[in-house]
Amino acid sequence: MEKAKISALQLFLLILLFELGSALLVPLAIDAKQDAWISILIGMIGGFMIFLIFYRLYKYYPDVLPTTYLQKIVGTFFGRIIAFTYIVYLLYLAARVLRDFGEMLAAVGYRETPLSINNLLLTLVVFYTVRKGIEVLARTGELFSVFIYIIAIIGFALIVFSSLIDLNRLRPILEYGLLPVLKVAFTQVTFFPFGEIFVFSMILPYLNNPKKAKITGLLALGLSGITLAIVAAVNVSVLDVATVSRSLFPLLTTIQAIELGFLERLDIFLCLP
């Protein structure tokens, strides 16, 4: 474990950016149809519960990484097996997100570039950041979070001014009852993206003020859940349920629909962050 510390604000922004990540791009919770946004908000509650479990473990072992305290809880042999599984799963998550962003880049701005090249460039950035350490990663998160939210606000304003939103596409609410919404929330959304908050059990020991860990994590999950719910509602209200479910990256399709004077095909700007 490196000797480094990050602030509560930096942790908040890292969690926020992590939770949004590729979840912004994919048709999240679309199996709930026009109630996808409700499923996301309910799934967020499941994310709260998962975070609180790992937060409690962090309270018992504030200066130790999970790969170490697992061996204290279940013994050295089984602890190492679980820790190894934990690391393998983290690698799987990283590979999946890498693939998602590589395909997004290929679909938007680099159509003639092989997917392997896109992924290689992204991987090199990851290698460089990891080599620099958690403090550099946290400061980079501070910088890019401001940039990303400025782009998001501008994009939402352009969608509104383009008169693309049709709220009738979000109706009727709970057309098929609450059960399908709950099923999507607790079998899909709770695990992706909110359940992946468990990876921050590797980051919490670096927090310079442990007392702020709980409120920081819950606020970051809450803001990310609200943001994803708004994005889901906007996608459905602009494209309709059928189009969102067929699209690999519905947010890109929504932004492609913006035609305001000379402003069009603005999806390329999503590649900048």
Give the pLDDT of residue 217.
96
Give the pLDDT of residue 147.
83
- CA–CA distances in Å: residue 92 to residues 41, 162, 187, 231: 26, 39, 19, 26
Q: With beta carbons less than 8 A apart as the criterion, state whether 226 and 3 touch.
A: no
Q: pLDDT exceeding 90 applies to what percent of the chain? A: 52
- CA–CA distances in Å: residue 44 to residues 11, 48, 198, 220: 18, 6, 14, 11
Q: How far apart are CA 1 and CA 30, in angstroms?
A: 40
DSSP at 243: H
Give the pLDDT of residue 264.
63
Q: How far apart are CA 199 and CA 39, in angstroms?
A: 23
Q: How far apart are CA 101 and CA 121, in angstroms?
A: 11
Residues of the chain scoring pLDDT < 70: 1-2, 261-273
Which residues, 6+ apart, have CB-to-CB distance to 81 below 8 Å? none
Give the pLDDT of residue 231.
94
Give the pLDDT of residue 160.
85
